[in-house]
């Protein structure tokens, strides 16, 4: 959800946003922080994530599903598809046949060689690896060991800078009235010719009270920044020789007012985390979309923090200091992205929500908002673009390079 790789891409940078199976191509102007929608392409099913192929290939890989969050069940259609970007027509064109996936995917990545695609699944917890043919089309799934430790509720898979393995980000789950808490962890996995094996499980406190959702890695490959979804925190881990520090070296709240009393209906969570291309700032999205029915039949947004938390990083230690919480001017910013020059950010809000407007109630549409990024990393709101979702979700948005 987001910048899709930590390499600096070349070529024209565009924004793609997905609503259901529809993918809209947007031209973007960094100088004016504007977006211009062009054409719509279609994935086989609802888009969950997109990852670029090797630089200059104009190939992209999309995980899609017929199911939605909290609706995983046996059956359904789930695909991993290769697409080619056609800059002349501003469309994504299918590249070969899609490969079937066993369950609803939530994230994917490619290894640095472009030979393997790794896919993460939340329920049931699973990670799969798929070969990519020399022409960029999808190949066969690689059989994995039954003893692979995939934790509870994987939500992201990210290659290590060495390309010798990956980090599987497993969020865990809060306890409920009927179930105990599922612990979270960062699972470090080795990758050898498409086969994953267990290397390390970083689970502070046994993983209880630790709910990592998404990570980014600094350009030097020395620190991992993890957004802790269920704790509304940013955790920083050291990374050495493909191993994480057992505990985070820093943990910071992402909220401007962490002690604020919120309505019971509010679901205050973090989402995506990204390191600025220059490496001096890290950003984490705070999202809230909980609704309640105060009377009548319309569930209305009950408040919460929808912002981008901006952390300045100590250049020697990587210690984050919260310097800004910038309102995203929308509700539930699930994804955001930063252009490779580090001058512009786009945040995407997932769906329309009913909100109070004085004594009335109105529908606030899903949207994309743009921000100018200052030299110190602080954000300045510039534009807002309402998006019609027709009852679906703007589940993914990101910036990619095309040539």
All structural domains of the chain, each given as residue ranges with its CATH number in brackets, are 12-402 (2.130.10.10)
User: Residue range 18-44: average pLDDT?
Assistant: 98
Average pLDDT, the chain: 94
Q: Comparing 77-91, 288-302, 312-326, 380-394, which segment has the lowest mean pLDDT?
A: 288-302
Is residue 280 within 8 A of residue 319, CB to CB? The reply is: no
**pLDDT at res. 299:** 86
Residue 341 half-sphere exposure toward CB, CA atoms < 13 A? 13
- Tens digits of per-residue pLDDT, 81-111? 999 999 999 999 999 999 999 999 999 999 9
Return the minimum-mean-pLDDT range out of 114-118, 146-150, 250-254, 297-301. Answer: 297-301
Q: What percent of the chain shows pLDDT beyond 90?
A: 86
Q: How high is the pLDDT of residue 182? A: 97
Tell me the two tokens of residue 155.
């939500």
Q: Are 322 and 254 in contact (CB under 8 A)?
A: yes
pLDDT at 321: 98
> Which tokens belong to 393?
């979700």
HSE on the CB side for 146, CA within 13 Å? 0
User: Is a pLDDT exceeding 80 seen at residue 56?
Assistant: yes
Q: What are the residues facing 106 on neighbouring strands?
A: none
Average pLDDT, stretch 310-325?
96
For residues 163 and 69, the model is more confident at 163
The CA-CA-CA angle for residues 91, 83, 160, to 5°, reads 125
Closest CA to 126 of 38, 23, 196, 205: 196
Over residues 333-345, the mean pLDDT reads: 97
| Confidence tier at 296 by pLDDT (50, 70, 90) | low
Distance CA 281, CA 375 (A): 10
* pLDDT given for residue 260 in this prediction: 85
Please enumerate in sequence order all residues whose Cβ is within 8 A of that of 278, keeping only pairs 6 or more positions apart, or say none: 342
Instruction: Provide the pLDDT for residue 8.
Output: 46
Number of H helices, E strands in the chain: 0, 34
CA nearest neighbour of 160 among 229, 226, 216: 216
If pLDDT is split at 50, 70 and 90, which confidence band does 4 have? very low
Q: What is the pLDDT of residue 293?
A: 67
Question: Is pLDDT at 278 greater than 50 in this prediction?
Answer: yes
Closest listed residue to residue 291, CA positions, set 332, 231, 348? 332
Question: Cβ contacts of residue 50 below 8 Å, gap of 6+?
Answer: 4, 16, 18, 23, 60, 61, 62, 63, 396, 398, 400
Cα angle, residue 360 at apex, residues 359 and 363 outer, rounded to 5°: 145
pLDDT in the model for residue 94: 98
């Amino acid at each position: 959800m987001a910048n899709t790789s930590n390499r600096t891409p070349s070529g024209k940078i565009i924004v793609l946003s997905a609503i259901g199976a529809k993918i809209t191509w947007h031209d973007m102007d960094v100088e004016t922080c504007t977006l211009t929608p062009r054409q719509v392409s279609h994935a086989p099913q609802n888009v969950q994530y997109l990852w670029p192929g090797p630089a200059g290939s104009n190939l992209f890989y999309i995980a899609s599903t017929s199911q939605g969050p909290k609706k995983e069940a046996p059956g359904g259609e789930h695909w991993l598809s290769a697409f080619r970007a056609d800059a002349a027509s501003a469309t994504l064109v299918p590249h070969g046949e899609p490969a079937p996936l066993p369950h609803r995917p939530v994230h994917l990545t490619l290894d640095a060689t472009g030979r393997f695609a790794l896919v993460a699944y939340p329920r049931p917890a699973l990670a799969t690896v798929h070969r990519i043919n020399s022409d960029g089309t999808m190949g066969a799934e690689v059989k994995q060991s039954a003893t692979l430790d995939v934790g509870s509720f994987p939500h992201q898979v990210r290659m290590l800078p060495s390309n010798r393995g990956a980090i599987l980000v497993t969020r865990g789950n809060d306890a409920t009235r009927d179930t105990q808490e599922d612990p979270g962890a960062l699972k470090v996995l080795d990758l050898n010719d498409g086969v994953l094996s267990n290397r390390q499980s970083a689970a502070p406190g046994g993983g209880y009270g630790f709910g990592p959702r998404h990570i980014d890695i600094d350009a030097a490959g020395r620190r991992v920044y993890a957004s802790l979804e269920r704790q509304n925190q940013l955790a920083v881990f050291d990374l050495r020789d493909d191993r994480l520090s057992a505990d985070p070296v820093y943990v910071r709240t992402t909220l401007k007012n962490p002690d604020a009393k919120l309505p019971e209906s509010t679901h205050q969570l973090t989402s995506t985390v990204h390191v600025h291309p220059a490496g001096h700032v890290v950003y984490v999205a705070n999202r809230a979309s909980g609704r309640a029915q105060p009377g009548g039949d319309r569930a209305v947004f009950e408040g919460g923090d929808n912002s981008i938390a901006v952390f300045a990083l100590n250049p020697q230690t990587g210690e984050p200091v919260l310097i800004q919480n910038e309102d995203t001017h929308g509700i539930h910013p699930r994804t955001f992205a930063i252009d490779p020059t580090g001058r512009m950010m786009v945040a995407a809000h997932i769906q329309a929500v009913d909100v109070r407007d004085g004594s009335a109630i109105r529908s606030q549409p899903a949207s994309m908002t743009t921000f100018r990024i200052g030299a110190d990393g602080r954000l300045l709101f510039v534009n807002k673009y309402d998006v019609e979702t027709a009852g679906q979700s703007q589940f993914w948005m990101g910036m990619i390079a095309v040539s």
